[in-house]
A and B are shown apart, each in its own frame.
Chain A
């Protein structure tokens, strides 16, 4: 089944404790992206990647890191999480620019 897989689905952590949210797609898509979704603000892009080893900042990159060492994986790293990073996170992939996204099931992160 063609899909984007995110893990974990739910995570509660403490301020400052490094964490990684994994994202993997099995559709050989070039383009991958991370979004956060907050009430009233909609989906905002954190980082995106056009291909292996090619990444760029989205609208809200502060406090996040990404890497794209393999085409299928695009992990999101929070080096020192803070409570304002409490949010619902989605990973997404698409075949190329101009194509629609397939989203992962989301990761609900709470930072206390």
Chain B
């Protein structure tokens, strides 16, 4: 089993739709969780950290489910500019090891 797994997609959704991605992780000792956005051939950019209580930033909501070992990202009212690859990142507790998922590709269609 991969340490961090994501559905590669692509998820093709119309503008205005709500879309959700999940990411599962295998190490129950994982401590910190993040979602990054990566545009084609560009560097990943931090979208949001994921806190135990869940957090929201505008149209984006992140949730953590420790019992089932997954994190999720919900995007409401999708925009064309949301088209990108979304990377899930997990940091193991007490280490400097950050493990990246291979990403979920989102295409928002006009």
Contacts and interface: CB of A to CB of B under 8 A. Distances in A.
A44 B3 CA distance: 12
Contacts of B103: 42
Interface of B: 31-32, 34, 36, 41-46, 49, 87, 89, 91, 94-98, 100-103
Nearest to B47: A100
A43 interface: yes
Main secondary structure of the interface of A (DSSP, over half): strand
10 contacts: A35-B100, A45-B97, A45-B98, A88-B41, A97-B95, A100-B46, A101-B36, A102-B46, A103-B43, A106-B43
Interface residues of A, number: 25
A41 B46 CA distance: 20
Given A43-B100, A97-B94, 8 more contacts: A42-B101, A43-B44, A44-B100, A97-B91, A98-B91, A100-B46, A103-B44, A106-B41
Contacts, number: 52
Contact of B45 (A35, A43, A103): A103
A105 B100 contact: no
Nearest to A40: B102
Nearest to A44: B100
Interface in A24-66: 31, 33, 35, 40-45, 48, 50, 56, 58
Interface of A: 31, 33, 35, 40-45, 48, 50, 56, 58, 88, 90, 97-106
Given A42-B103, A106-B42, A101 B96 contact: no
Contacts of A99: 32
Nearest to B4: A42
Contacts of B42: 105-106
Contacts of A103: 43-45
Nearest to A100: B46
B91 A43 contact: no
Contacts of A45: 97-98
Given A42-B102, A42-B103, A90 B97 contact: no
A34 to B, nearest CB: 12
